[in-house]
Amino acid sequence: MHNVDLIPGDSLLTKTPDEGRQLAIAIARRVVKATQPDAATRERLREVYAGDAALLLQVCQIVATEFATIAAANGYWRTRHDEP
């Protein structure tokens, strides 16, 4: 695996759930890039999963798992009223 900064800003803390969801997507994308560093290969593979509902649902599951981790790190945004 290539050396890729997998956690933007080196923190899972976000101000809002929406920022948390965006971070989850960013992390998932960075994991794909780290796993498959060749941009041309990623582009070619994108054509495969873009037309496959099951593969798209797997992408959603990966983002949901990342989001659950981020939500837990943020105390589910319920107990944090100060800055992250």
Q: Please report, for the chain, the start and end positions of each structural domain, with discontinuous segments joined by +.
A: 16-77
Question: Average pLDDT in the 6-23 region?
Answer: 93
Q: Which residues contact 47 (CB under 8 A, 6 or more apart)?
A: none
pLDDT(78) > 70 = no
Would you tell me how many other CB atoms lie within 10 Å of the CB of residue 67? 19
Q: Which residue has the higher pLDDT, 4 or 10?
A: 10
Best mean pLDDT range from 3-12, 53-62, 72-81: 53-62
pTM: 0.80
pLDDT at 76: 72
